[in-house]
């Protein structure tokens, strides 16, 4: 591992000033992904700027109207245990609890979770080409081991998936990421925070290099909202998703007044199923409308040689999860 300087920033302003002054610096959250990538040689920052103790960043606060502001340094464990999150945004607590392990969630932060890198085996192996790690070097995953990589929205340059469970729930909840950079603050809606690979797969998000995530904001939810996170994986716990789904539905009787569905494990981003949502919104939710909506959403899927199973898995997850929500009491 390359030697690095360690700096601990006291507040967001200092953190941004430090990273702006150091071209080879990176922010350090819980380190559960970055330290591993440094050990693997994927990342070699000259300076780490620890942002886990920034003033106010470890708090979850109420917003006017009943939403929440979640500081970027809140740990995954504290987020999932928060009574307000469990009560109003159960899909978020469920998604976080379905990720990683108890001891990793105690270290990992909200900001770091959003910025974690793909677990594509070629990205993590510096002896192999990878356009995300080394732009222009090629993508061996396309013809190699891609059984758990993307089926939709990928490019010839990159077929990686975003590994986060939390981000899938945040996408379905229309959360907003607040960031601070050298020229001030801005807010970025989560559907749109991560980006498709296109011909720049090295860029996972729309963040500028010196921008810091300060918090994630959740809008107030309608009272009649039903939510669920469901994850299919190769073992029952402590594994990344093959396909996962976050569903947030506002019911009026059997009719869906509003439907938000996001899929994990299928794309370079948490995939908002907007085609399916548009077909379902305002209408009845039953097996036939769900099947039609799920199939319409997945028409654009372009599975690779060994991951066609994900298309059928995603279709069934959409149908089953939303049917469960129709039948649920709450």
Partner 1 sequence: MSVLAELQLRVNGVEHDLTIDTRTSLLDLLREHLDLTGPKKGCDHGQCGACTILIDGRRANACLALAVAHSGAEITTVEGLAGGGDSGDLHPLQQAFIEHDAFQCGYCTPGQLCSAAGMLAEFEQGWPSAVTPVNGQIELTPAEIRERMSGNLCRCGAYANIVPAIAQASE
Pick the closer one to partner 1 by CB: 38 or 259: 38
Pick the closer one to partner 1 by CB: 176 or 244: 244
Binding status of residue 35 toward partner 1 by CB under 8 A: yes
In the bound complex, what is the minimum distance in angstroms from residue 35's beta carbon to partner 1?
Answer: 5
Pick the closer one to partner 1 by CB: 133 or 272: 133
Q: Provide the 3-class DSSP secondary structure of residue 308.
A: coil
User: Residue 127 carries which DSSP code?
Assistant: T
Binding status of residue 327 toward partner 1 by CB under 8 A: no
Q: Are the CB atoms for 82 and 60 separated by under 8 Å?
A: yes
Task: Cite the beta strand spans of 153-224 per DSSP E.
Answer: 176-181, 184-189, 212-218
Buried b (16+ CB within 10 A) or exposed e, 19-47: beebeebbbbbbbbbbeebbeeebbebeb
Task: Write the DSSP assignment of 244-294 as a string of letters.
Answer: EEEEEEEEETTEEEEEEEEEESSSSS-EE-HHHHHHHTTSB-SHHHHHHHH
Task: Cite the beta strand spans of the chain per DSSP E.
Answer: 5-8, 25-28, 47-50, 60-62, 68-71, 176-181, 184-189, 212-218, 225-232, 243-252, 255-264, 271-272
Binding status of residue 90 toward partner 1 by CB under 8 A: yes
> With CB under 8 A, what is the number of residues at the site for partner 1?
36
Pick the closer one to partner 1 by CB: 55 or 107: 107
Query: Of 34-42, 145-153, 275-283, 299-307, which part binds partner 1 (CB under 8 A)?
Result: 34-42
Binding status of residue 55 toward partner 1 by CB under 8 A: no
Q: Are the CB atoms for 246 and 171 separated by under 8 Å?
A: yes
Whole-number Cα distances in Å, 269 to 15, 61, 168? 27, 27, 9
Binding status of residue 118 toward partner 1 by CB under 8 A: no
Binding status of residue 43 toward partner 1 by CB under 8 A: no
In the bound complex, what is the minimum distance in angstroms from residue 105's beta carbon to partner 1?
Answer: 9
Pick the closer one to partner 1 by CB: 51 or 276: 51
Q: Where in 151-190 is the site for partner 1 (CB under 8 A)?
A: none
Pick the closer one to partner 1 by CB: 47 or 289: 47
Binding status of residue 103 toward partner 1 by CB under 8 A: yes
Site of interaction with partner 1 (CB under 8 A): 1, 3-6, 8, 28, 30-32, 35-36, 39, 48, 50, 52, 77, 80-81, 86, 90, 93-94, 97-98, 100-104, 106-107, 236-238, 330
């Amino acid at each position: 591992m390359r030697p690095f300087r360690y700096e601990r920033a006291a507040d967001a302003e200092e953190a941004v000033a430090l990273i702006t002054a150091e071209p080879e610096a990176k922010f350090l959250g819980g380190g559960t992904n970055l330290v591993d990538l440094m050990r693997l040689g994927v990342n070699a920052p000259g300076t780490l700027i620890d942002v886990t103790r920034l003033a106010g960043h470890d708090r979850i606060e109420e917003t006017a109207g009943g939403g929440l502001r979640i500081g970027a340094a809140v740990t995954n464990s504290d987020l999932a245990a928060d009574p307000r999150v469990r009560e109003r945004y159960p899909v978020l607590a469920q998604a976080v609890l379905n990720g990683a392990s108890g001891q990793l969630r105690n270290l990992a932060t909200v900001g770091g979770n959003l910025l974690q890198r793909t677990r594509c085996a070629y990205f993590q192996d510096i002896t192999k080409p990878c356009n995300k790690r080394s732009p222009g070097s090629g993508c061996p995953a396309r013809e190699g081991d891609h059984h758990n990589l993307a089926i939709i929205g990928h490019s010839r340059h990159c077929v990686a998936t975003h590994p986060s469970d939390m981000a899938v729930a945040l996408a379905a909840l229309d959360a907003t990421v607040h960031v601070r950079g050298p020229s001030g603050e801005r807010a970025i809606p989560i559907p749109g925070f991560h980006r498709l690979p296109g011909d720049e797969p090295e860029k996972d998000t729309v963040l500028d290099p010196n921008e810091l995530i300060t918090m994630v904001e959740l809008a107030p939810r309608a009272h009649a909202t039903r939510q669920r996170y469901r994850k299919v994986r190769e073992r029952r716990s402590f594994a990344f998703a093959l396909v996962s789904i976050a569903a947030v539905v506002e019911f009026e009787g059997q009719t869906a007044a509003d439907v938000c569905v996001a899929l994990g494990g299928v794309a370079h981003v948490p995939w908002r199923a907007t085609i399916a949502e548009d077909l379902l919104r305002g209408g009845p939710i039953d097996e036939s409308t769900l099947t039609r909506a799920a199939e319409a959403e997945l028409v654009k899927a372009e599975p690779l040689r060994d991951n066609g199973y994900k298309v059928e898995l995603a279709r069934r997850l959409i149908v089953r999860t939303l049917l469960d929500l129709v039948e649920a009491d709450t």
